[in-house]
A and B are shown apart, each in its own frame.
Chain A
Amino acid sequence: MASDSSPVNTPGGANPSTPDVSISSGEGDDADEAPPMYVWGTNISVQDVNAAILRFLRNFREDSSQTEGKYMRAIHHVIEMEGDSLDVDAHDVFDYDGDLYTKMVRFPLEVLAIFDIVLMDMVSRINPLFEKHIQARIFNLKTSTSMRNLNPSDIEKMVSLKGMIIRCSAIIPEIREAIFRCLVCGYYSDPIVVDRGRINEPTICGKQECLARNSMTLVHNRCRFADKQIVRVQETPDEIPEGGTPHTVSLLMHDKLVDVGKPGDRVEVTGIYRAMTVRIGPAHRTVKSLFKASLSMCLLRKTDKSRMHAEDPMEVENGVVGSDEHLDNEEKVEKLKELSKQPDIYERLTRSLAPNIWELDDVKKGLLCQLFGGNALSLSSGASFRGDINILLVGDPGTSKSQLLQYIHKLSPRGIYTSGRGSSAVGLTAYVAKDPETGETVLESGALVLSDRGICCIDEFDKMSDSARSMLHEVMEQQTVSIAKAGIIASLNARTSVLACANPIGSRYNPRLSVIDNIHLPPTLLSRFDLIYLILDKADEQTDRRLAKHIVALHFEDPENSEQEVIDLPTLAAYLSYARKNIHPELSDEAAEELTRGYVEMRIRGNFPGSSKKVITATPRQLESLIRLSEALARIRFSEKVEKKDVMEAFRLLEVALQQSATDHATGTIDMDLITTGVSASERMRRENLVSTTRNIIMEKLQLGGPSTRLLELLEDAKKQSSGGEVHLADLRNALATLATEGLVVVHGDTVKRI
């Protein structure tokens, strides 16, 4: 803790690293009677601090109902566990005694030393046989500094930082107590304690009879060593200003703190900022007029590595949240709540979502729902329903699909962005790799697993290989990734929303074809998307003008001026994460009724009166989607209840999406068959009609075993016979193929023969 190479004088009686417990605590006791001692260079009395710490430890209670102080319990616990450190929340110190807190932050070396003495004293009173040295470890300071702002005035102060570990040194044994032996007489010296990084090597043998000069030699195996590690922490990307490189700070870790973190961990550290003089060379004793700064560690806490948590200000990590942070958050939360009460919050959020992308309001609303997400539900029977909403965007090139994706990726917690062309199945899900050193098999997560509880954005979905796409089936409904490879059988959570975008097959969308035909995706996969949006480039002068205006403004004006009233990205992200974390809306009865009613209505819509064909307009999957969407809509309003209007909006959204994607272009009605099988009901009817027409023609015209006829002739006949609509050669071929399987005809190239 208080490291040894301090350039600052510590008060005489309090050397924190003094291992001999009884001595130091005895000194502490003595100090009570001695004339007042002051912390060097200040008017802080050691006795006062001593008493203040004692009071704090004895009397601090989190609430007055507790009989025993919080830290008394903690001390007992430490003794029971034979631990060697007591974690002290700096906020508690502040709440109990602000003066002590200030002293502790300003003169940490001294105050912590006293802290340790007091602690040892108390421990030995509770349990005189307890021999371990207990250290006080302070954490959770009221203010956290940014690495960038550390400056000379912070030296010798206690600071708290956030950052990411980038490198750890090997463990260095650091000498704490040295024992020397006389080469002449074999006399062992008393243990010599390291004093400010130095060991005062005895020059004369301590034995009265010997007193040989320069005869003492270090006995390695009787010395006491402590673990030491140097860890370097670097700023996290969000703290780096534009055009800067991240700053780094070295941490000195001792004993228990060694190997607590590993490179890549995001950590919050509390420690004493130290500066040590730099020697010109390792072998030189001369110092330069330079200082090397490092942080002597008190405590290191891991904050979660994931972006969702690290950037989530509401996250309650380890059950400890600083009240300061809390206050700050409460303010923020109030603001967010206020925001949520705005009557037009839904529209406003929609507007704020990718404000530079024009039109596409319904798509944005859908994306908003995806960001907020529904409630995941798992039944006791083991069945689970996902709460994540999957969206597919299909559209003409140049309709800013990719930009939408990029934007969502930026906004969403734990967003992962991949391009279908560059992704393989294992890259998306997970793969097993062999560790080159140990030979152990390890599981490496892919994009979908990494974006667990986030959004996985997949661009160029259509260009993905089939095997990769087939992996998505499991992910998108079961929300897991199963691996059975090289001795590892595992099922990983991949509770991710998928946002995919695809280009139509002929690069431009052909409105005469169905979605399936346009984007070459298997219907099984398509049906797993809750919303499928077609982003089509419609010829509309109004839109064009707006677009032109926007682009001209982009080029020739200050971009700030053209911004409309929108919620900025950080607020939006905070809003989002708060809603995702804290709001879990449930269906109200009214809403449930509306859902049922709407669903039934949707299904009825498929049965046209007087029409024999059965069109499926909705499936249970759609019902699930509807529930998810309405939950998400309630979440947007920070409402714990899903209300009727949410359900109605959900229906509207679904219908808008369906109308764009599942509209049967022949009839103009919604047909889920288009999605589920790729062939609309009316199309199927038409095909069946054609088959029967063809069969009739063949029965009439061709003799059994007689001469064959040409395909084109048949086409002419079929055209004559079929009442409405065009008959294409391809259709006819299809029909003939059907007949051929029935065993009615044989088709050889262009000739048809009845058998």
Chain B
Amino acid sequence: MVGLPYDCLANPLGAVRLTFEKAVASGSDPATFEGKDWGATDLFRQFIFDDGGLSQVPFLNPSTMTWVQPNTLVRFWGMIQDMLGNEFYVGAYKEGETWRTNKFADFSQFPMAVDSSPDMRVWERRLLYCVPVPGQNSWIEHSSESLFNPSSISSPLQREKRHREDDTAINDIDMQVTDEEVHACTSNKKMREGGIASNSSNTGDTLNEDIDSSTSVLPYFDRTSFPCLVKIYDSPESNLKLNDVFEFIGVFTFDPEFPVDKNDTNDLESSLCDDTLTQMPPSRVPRLHCLVHRKLATQDFISGSPTFELKSHLVKSIREALLGHLTSILGNDGVAANLITFSFYLQVHARVDSIAVGKLSLNLTCFNKETLSVFGHRLNLALKNLLPFTHCIPLSVDYLNKVSLVPKKDYQTNRLASGILQLAEGSHLTIDETQLQAGTLNSTGVENARVLRNLLELQKVEYDFTYYKMDMPADIQLLVLSEGKSNILPADLVLPLCPVSVDAAQDVETEVLRSWRWYLATMRSLSHTIEKEMQKVLEDDLVAARQADRSLSSLDFSRLLTMGRLVSLSFGETSLTLEHWKMANELERLRKERLQGSL
């Protein structure tokens, strides 16, 4: 194998530089680049996707922060929490007679004429403020960490080194970096060994330990808020949207020794300088100069697990097992288990006017203190184990009055202050209404209740920009737990929970859990259509139903159709069959019966 003259992993900037020089050498004029790519990202794309380099790229998270070296290639999974606009930087400049580039770097590596020279080109890049996906469950991290094996990375490094000895051009800097890298790897190994040992005993402990180990070095980081400032180059704006979950692969820069000027005397001016430096000094927020990014689907989080084939009997058996598990969790209430699984495949697939097609929120009623402590707790645990992002809101008067649910633009800092409802697409939100007591809501509380209601009805969250509000479409799976039917939060489906028996909680093997996760993620991503004949059947059924019961509204029909779609998806089918439609109707009938019975 012919080695590359540079190391994409340890010295990505070297690689960038090399391609730049190559481009200049081949006759293109950097002055005309205007920030466009000259082949650097292609190189990295090839390295990452075609040459299987992806698995060698370390993740950036609090635990890896301690040993990942600046100016190396890292990847980061995160949700775009805020967009900080564009930043102008000196993209290309001349050092003497040679063109240099600053792309993918914070500072220039070569001395630069400070004042404007005609040979300085200003380019722009986008700043995205990314955070780990809210409500991300711990199993994702485990799977992601298990992906990265330090031993696998050190060997190619050594091999690289041998090749590079022949190459004198960029050797010096690289050597230095790689040496440090190797050193870091070994230190990491030690740390990792400790981590793995505790991992087997208890997952909770690892979490704490990770925080401890990271906080000792980096006082400002904790696991829940580990932000990263991602700088995006050459990407059309429409590709990256707020609340999208992305994988960013790029050059990591971080400066823990960066001086933070506390006694900033020039307050008047700096108060309005939208300087990301002052608000987010590099010592707190790591930077990532993004080379390659891609949107993550739920499957990507389970990439560590063996991929199953999409065979109907396999899907069926997994479905049965999962349903069985949920049924036992819910005290042998099969209907409830069925309805709960519905929300797992849920996806808002179209928006017509203000209607979000494909939403289905579930309200499980008849919870009281005892049942909640048993089933609610178990259900939460199960959800956490099955879904990538889960969130739970304990609704109480006090909570409603105090919490800020919606993201709000803070004009002091010119940032979007996140709210609890700023969730990634496909997050699961459980709202526990059982703790709600009688009380007075203040204006915040009223507003919050309204926001929640809007979310349930329209799948939209109104972001507060003080002078106006902006609707952001959301795609969140909702589950409401309440004593009686919730009137504050009108869900699409209301079902009284009827537990028959309380089984001892069973433990599920990790392998089985994995197959379930895979199943849920895959089913969710399936597209779904309906045949012409089936449409006719549906229409007839709906008309007949309406003739029989005048109180059926278009909302009921919508719900029924969504249920049909979900039943069919749960079998891994991409088109609705009569059988599944019947099943959906049967479920609805059972639900209604139970609703009647409970009244």
Contacts and interface: CB of A to CB of B under 8 A. Distances in A.
Given A7-B115, A246-B465, A544 B268 contact: no
Nearest to A355: B353
Given A151-B124, A548-B557, A559-B352, A41 B118 contact: yes
A749 interface: no
B163 to A, nearest CB: 32
Nearest to A169: B272
B561 A555 contact: yes
Given A547-B557, A555-B357, A556-B530, A283 B352 contact: no
Contacts of A748: none
Contact of A552 (B242, B269, B465, B539): B539
B542 interface: yes
Interface in A227-250: 230-232, 234, 237, 240-248, 250
B468 interface: yes
Interface stretch (A290-298, A482-490, A517-525, A589-597): A290-298
Contacts, number: 198
B350 A551 contact: no
A78 interface: no
Contacts of A283: 261
A550 B555 CA distance: 12
A555 B358 contact: yes
B219 interface: no
Interface stretch (A113-121, A396-404, A627-635): A396-404
A400 B528 CA distance: 27
B275 interface: yes
| Consensus secondary structure, chain A interface | mixed
B272 A232 contact: yes
A290 B561 contact: no
A356 B356 CA distance: 13
A539 B543 CA distance: 11
A237 B272 contact: no
A288 B554 contact: no
B173 interface: no
A246 B84 CA distance: 9
Contacts of B261: 281-283
A56 B355 CA distance: 57
Q: Most chain-A Cβ atoms within 10 A of its Cβ — which of B123, B266, B529, B553? A: B553
A246 B416 CA distance: 10
Contacts of A288: 106-107
B467 A289 contact: no
Size bracket of the B interface: 35 or more
Contact of B554 (A155, A240, A241, A398): A398
Contacts of B414: 167, 232, 248
Nearest to B537: A552
B574 to A, nearest CB: 12
Contacts of B310: none
A398 B555 contact: yes
Interface residues of A, number: 72
B265 interface: yes
Given A232-B414, A548-B542, A552-B538, A289 B107 contact: yes
Interface in A402-449: 403, 406-407, 422
Interface stretch (B86-94, B182-190, B376-384): B86-94
A537 interface: yes
B238 interface: yes
A289 B108 contact: yes
Nearest to B123: A152
B466 interface: yes
Contact of A544 (B243, B271, B468, B542): B542
Given A245-B83, A291-B122, A548-B538, A166 B269 contact: no
Q: Most chain-A Cβ atoms within 10 A of its Cβ — which of B34, B102, B274? A: B274
Given A166-B467, A556-B530, A230 B107 contact: no
Given A232-B272, A275-B122, A548-B557, A556 B82 contact: no
Given A151-B124, A282-B266, A552-B535, A406 B416 contact: no
Interface in B232-270: 237-238, 241-244, 259, 261, 264-266, 268-270
Interface string B550-587: 11011101100110010000000000100000000000
A544 B557 CA distance: 11
A241 to B, nearest CB: 7
A164 interface: yes
Contact of B354 (A172, A231, A403, A556): A403
Given A152-B122, A166-B466, A551 B542 contact: yes
B112 interface: yes
A169 B539 contact: no
A166 B416 CA distance: 13
Contacts of B350: 554, 559
A244 B237 contact: yes
Q: Most chain-B Cβ atoms within 10 A of its Cβ — which of A150, A155, A246, A399? A: A246
Contacts of B468: 164, 237
B352 A545 contact: no
A278 B470 contact: no
Given A289-B90, A356-B353, A406-B354, A244 B241 contact: yes
A172 B529 CA distance: 63
Nearest to A538: B550
B271 A556 contact: no
A164 B467 contact: yes
A202 B576 CA distance: 85
A264 interface: yes
A282 B264 contact: yes
Contact of A244 (B83, B264, B411): B83
Interface string A348-384: 0000001010000000000000000000000000000
A263 B467 contact: yes
Contacts of B271: 169
Contacts of B512: none
A547 B554 contact: yes
B438 interface: no
A288 to B, nearest CB: 7
B547 A544 contact: yes
A172 to B, nearest CB: 5
A153 B535 CA distance: 54
A565 interface: no
B202 interface: no
B277 interface: yes
B272 to A, nearest CB: 4
B89 A289 contact: yes
Interface in B82-141: 82-83, 85-90, 102, 105-108, 112, 114-116, 118, 121-124
B416 to A, nearest CB: 6
Contacts of A555: 357-358, 530, 558, 561-562, 565
B402 interface: no
B590 interface: no
Contacts of A8: 116
Interface in A531-587: 537, 539, 541, 544-545, 547-556, 559
Interface of A: 7-8, 41, 148, 150-153, 155, 164, 166-167, 169-170, 172, 230-232, 234, 237, 240-248, 250, 263-264, 275, 277-278, 280-283, 287-293, 354, 356, 397-400, 403, 406-407, 422, 537, 539, 541, 544-545, 547-556, 559
28 contacts: A152-B88, A152-B121, A166-B409, A166-B466, A170-B268, A243-B241, A243-B244, A245-B82, A246-B409, A247-B83, A275-B88, A281-B277, A287-B114, A288-B107, A290-B88, A356-B355, A398-B555, A544-B543, A545-B539, A545-B543, A547-B542, A550-B554, A551-B557, A551-B561, A552-B561, A553-B535, A555-B530, A556-B529
Given A232-B411, A544-B543, 14 more contacts: A166-B466, A167-B411, A172-B268, A242-B473, A244-B83, A281-B277, A289-B106, A289-B108, A291-B87, A291-B122, A292-B274, A548-B543, A548-B557, A554-B355
- Cβ-closest 9 pairs across A and B: A243-B241, A398-B553, A548-B542, A291-B88, A556-B530, A230-B272, A289-B90, A152-B122, A548-B539
